Amino acid sequence: MTTFTKEYKLQVAKRYLNEIISYRELANQVGVDDSTLRYWVMLVRYHGDQAFAFPYTNYSTAFKLKVIQFMTEENYSIREASAIFHIPVPCMLRRWKKKWETAGEGALEPREKGLSTMTVNQNKNKGNNSSNPSVEEMKKELEYLRMENAYLKKLKALVQEEQSPTKSKRK
């Protein structure tokens, strides 16, 4: 996948706006999907020369809800709402909307940074020896599994012997 510079994207979008050319034709010339080109043009229409200067930011829950509410009430597409609110990639907005639809507003809350709960739970379990099997229990289980394995091998050999063509017996 080719990565285009901000300047190049701006140049291509302005070329569409200034020339009489279709999205599809220009997209083929540039080597991008026509929907991507449409997004670039929307960004330039709404934000001008700063269209591709996205500040790194963490979006607040209130902002995410505002964008989703705007989309649903005004009937805007994900791509267009993303361009209006100057969100770098429309798939980010798509994820927000999906989370909101499935789990509500709480799903849009930022996740806590630091150790995950899984790491914390693992550390708790290490200190608790009552759930760990003893050496004797492990030896018994190993012996049982070895017997079971030997039994299954013998059973498989017997089944194969029965399925093989009968050999003629010489007397």
Tens-digit pLDDT profile for the chain (171 aa)? Answer: 578 898 999 999 999 999 888 989 999 999 999 889 999 999 999 999 988 888 777 888 889 999 999 998 999 999 999 999 989 888 999 999 998 888 888 888 877 766 666 655 555 555 555 567 888 888 999 999 999 999 889 888 888 888 876 655 555
Give yes or no for a contact between 85 and 43, defined as CB atoms under 8 angstroms apart. no
**For residue 158, what pLDDT is reported?**
87
CA torsion sign for 157, 158, 164, 170 is positive
Give yes or no for a contact between 30 and 12, defined as CB atoms under 8 angstroms apart. yes
- Which tokens belong to 164? 């093989």
**For residue 108, what pLDDT is reported?**
81
**For residue 24, what pLDDT is reported?**
92
